[in-house]
Amino acid sequence: MNDIKELPNEPENIVISQTVAILVDGNNIERSIHTEANDTNTMLNFDALIPKLLVNRGLSRLVYFREGKHISNKLQERLHNFYHGSVRPCHKSADIPLSINAIQLANKVDTIIIMSGDSDYIELVRHLKSEGVRVEIAAVASTTSRFIVEEADHFHEITKEDWFTLPTKKPQKRRNKKADAS
């Protein structure tokens, strides 16, 4: 008479079909990893980080917001070619353009991952969650506001495994013209 079946320990054949937008506050993340690594030649390793953030979910958008006029062409090409991502230059801070883009995407994706530890995004996180969007934060723990971590649905810690340091170029020695003449 006991019709209760034992439940399996692991769910089988569950397909996760969430769509994710990753919005990067480039200046914030760059400052954080430069501080943590104590080296301004340190850069995010998107090839390691993106799969870690997505797990089994689909990437819908990747937008890297960056203040300033000089944005690496290599970064733009890499994000476009590998992730169909884009780089958006910002007049001043990325806060407003990133927030506007997040609100525009809210009804198009299931999850928005904000790569920034800046507490300026707390109201954005609250708004997105009220719209039914899962909001995750990805940032370096030591430079991340605890308030934004508490508001988010999940926190992804960006660690040294998620960045690399470019070798510094050694200045070329000037050739001594007198020595060449002799």
**Closest Cα to residue 18, out of 53, 59, 48, 51?**
59
What pLDDT band is residue 65 in, cutting at 50, 70 and 90?
Answer: very high
Query: What is the DSSP annotation of 17-74?
Result: --EEEEEEEHHHHHHHHHHHHT-TTEEE-HHHHHHHHHTT-EEEEEEEEEESS---HH
Share in percent of the chain as helix, strand, coil (round to 5): 40, 25, 35
What pLDDT band is residue 23 in, cutting at 50, 70 and 90?
Answer: very high
Assigned superfamily of 19-168: 5'-nuclease (3.40.50.1010)
Asked whether residue 67 carries a pLDDT value surpassing 80, the answer given is yes
- Give the list of residues 6+ apart from residue 81 with CB closer than 8 angstroms, or none: none
Q: How is residue 92 written in tokens? A: 């001043």
Asked whether residue 177 carries a pLDDT value surpassing 60, the answer given is no
| Residues 88-123 pLDDT 10s | 988 888 999 999 999 999 999 999 999 999 999 999
Phi, psi of 136 (to 5 degrees): -120, 150
